[in-house]
Amino acid sequence: MTIQKFLKLSTSNLEQAGIGTARLDSLVLLEDATGRDRAYLLAHAEAVLQGATLKKLEGLVKRRMRHEPLAFIRGKTEFYGREFIINKDVLEPRPESETMIGLLLELSAKSKGLRIVDVGTGSGALAITAKLELPKNEVIATDIDPKCLAVARQNANKYKVDIQFFQGNLFVPISAHSTHLTALLCNLPYVPDDYKINLAAAMEPRQAIFGGKDGLDLYRQLFDQINRGDVRVQYVFTESLPLQHNGLESIARKAGFKLQKSDDFIQMFVAN
C-alpha cells in the first residue's frame, strides 16, 4: 500500500468513526510509525508501506477509531513546546494550562527566589515546565496517585530537572516540608459530574477530570487546607471553566485570597 493510499483510507475510516482531525491524526501516526517527517512523507506519496510498518499502522488507526486519545496511542504529547511522556494513568496536559506558565513568568519578573508547588501534578508537565523556564527557583510537586508520580518522575528524569515529588492529598504533603511558599500551580479536576465530555476524554482517568456537582470540590478542599495550615502561601494559580470563575473566586475569598488576574481558564489569586 502506498503512502497516498494509506492516508486516503485511514482518513476515511477515522472520519466515519467521528474523528474530527482524521487526516492530521493519520499523518501523525504515519510519522511515528515510519520515523519520517511530514514533508518527506507527502513528497514521497508513492512510496510503499508494507510488512511490520503497515501492520503497526493498521493497529494504531483501529485504536484511534475507538476514540482512544492520540497522546495515549503515541505515548507522548506536547506542552509548552516540549514533549512529555503520557499514559492512561494521567490526564493529557491541555493548551489552556500553558497560560498558567505565562502568568507565572510574569510574576517571576517582579519577584525573586520563587518557591513553587504544582498541586496534583499528574504527568508533571506544569512543574517541569516551571523548573525549565525558571531554573534558579525551587519547584515541588504533589499528587495523591503513585502512578501519576511515576510518570512525572520519568518526565523529570527526561529533562534532568531537580524537583521534589511528594505523595498525598493536595496541599497536605507540603505542610511538613515548608513554612513559606510563593506560588501554587493548581490544575485540579474541575469538570462538573454531569458535564458531557467527548469520547476521547472519557478514556482518560475519571478522577483527574471530574470535581463534584459543580466541579469545584477539590478547590474547596485545597483552599481549606491552606487556610487551616501553618504554611504561608502568597499566590494561588487555578484552572477552571470560565463559567466557574465567580464560584472559585468566592471560595478563594473565604480563605483569605483575592483575585488579582484572570486570563482565559486561569485565575491568579493573592493572599490578603
pLDDT confidence of residue 61: 96
Start-end of CATH 3.40.50.150 domains in the chain: 90-271
Percent of the chain with pLDDT over 70: 99
Q: 24: burial class by Cβ within 10 Å (0-12, 13-18, 19+)?
A: middle
Q: Residue 175: its pLDDT value, please?
A: 74
pLDDT number for residue 205: 84
- CATH number for the domain running over 3-66: 1.10.8.10
The per-residue pLDDT for range 8-60, each reduced to its tens digit, is: 999 999 999 999 999 999 999 999 999 999 999 999 999 999 999 999 999 99
Average pLDDT over residues 101-125: 94
Distance CA 157, CA 66 (A): 32
Grid look-up 471560595 returns: 251
Asked whether the CA dihedral 84, 76, 143, 105 is positive or negative, the reply is positive
Q: How many CB atoms lie within 10 A of CB 38?
A: 12
Residue limits of CATH 1.10.8.10 in the chain:
3-66
pLDDT of residue 177 exceeding 80, the answer is no
Looking at residue 65, what is its pLDDT? Answer: 96
> Distance between CA atoms of 238 and 210, rounded to whole angstroms?
15
In this predicted structure, the answer to whether residue 231 has a pLDDT above a threshold of 90 is: no
**CB 153, CB 124: distance < 8 Å:** yes
Among residues 216, 213, 175, 222, which one has the least CA distance to residue 194?
213
Give CA–CA dist 237/99, Å, rounded: 10
Mean pLDDT to the nearest integer, 176-196: 87
Helix (H, G, I), strand (E, B) or coil at 35: coil
CA distance 232 to 180: 5
Contact predicate 129/80, CB 8 Å: yes
At how many degrees (to 10) do helices 3-16 and 51-65 cross? Answer: 20
The span from the CA of 244 to the CA of 191, in Å, is 10
CATH: 3.40.50.150, 3.30.460.40, 3.60.40.10, 3.30.750.24. Which one for 90-271? Answer: 3.40.50.150
pLDDT of residue 207: 86
